Amino acid sequence: MALAPLAQLGPATAAKMERLGILTGADLKAKPLAFLQEHFGKAGAWYYRIARGIDDRPVQPDRPRKSVGAEDTFAVDIHDLQAARAEVTPLVDKVWRHCEAKNLLGRTVTLKIKFADFRQITRSRTVGTSLRAASDVESIACSLLEPLFPTEKGIRLIGVTISSFDEDREIGQDQLSLI
């Protein structure tokens, strides 16, 4: 597996690493600190530590949640729209229950699909106001799913995520109309 997608390096750094024979995390870990510092300066020490799982930054467990999602991988690839829709329902229910429990209201629904050939795509839709019911989330997720059919490859995984949370609003708080 190539290093650049894993570490999300910039194109220049990824090209430099490739020129130096660093193509994988194992290649990076094999390089001594002095080598990495010589070729990457201050960042060389970072690459050295991160390749060894050393990260002294404090854990921030209480940061705000940006999304809530669920996904399922299937034992048999799905080729039928109705079967795919049936798999969306329990995912939406799981995500919605979590959002309700945490009083989270979102405006964006993202559908993740992994095909039988492991190609992965995402489709999303953001609405103007917070989603108020699981049925709204399911409707949007299914509308994102429908254009993918018919599919020759089959679907191996489906995921549903809610994001774009309203920071100041909670489930149960109604917004008054100005009209």
- 76 and 117 share a domain? yes
pTM (2 decimals)? Answer: 0.65
Q: What percent of the chain has a predicted confidence (pLDDT) above 70?
A: 88
The tokens 């949370």 sit on which residue? 165
Cα gap 24→28, rounded to integer Å:
6
Q: Name the β-bridge partners of 68.
A: 162
> 38 with 118, same domain?
no
Q: Output the pLDDT for position 9.
A: 82
Q: Does one domain contain both 45 and 106?
A: no
Angle at 148 between CA 143 and CA 154, to 5 degrees: 130
Position 61: which residue type? P
Residue 108 falls inside a structural domain: yes
**Is residue 59 in some structural domain?**
no
129 is in which domain, residue-wise? 67-165
> Which pLDDT does position 90 carry in this prediction?
98
Domain assignment of residue 172, yes or no? no
Find the mean pLDDT for residues 111-133: 96
Q: Are residues 20 and 86 in the same domain?
A: no
Q: Considering its fold, how many domains does the chain have in total?
A: 2
151 and 74 in one domain? yes
Same domain? For 109 and 139 the reply is yes
Of the listed ranges 32-41, 92-101, 159-168, the least confidently predicted one is 159-168
Q: What is the maximum span of the chain, computed from C-alpha positions, in angstroms?
A: 67
- CATH code (residue 71): 3.30.1490.100
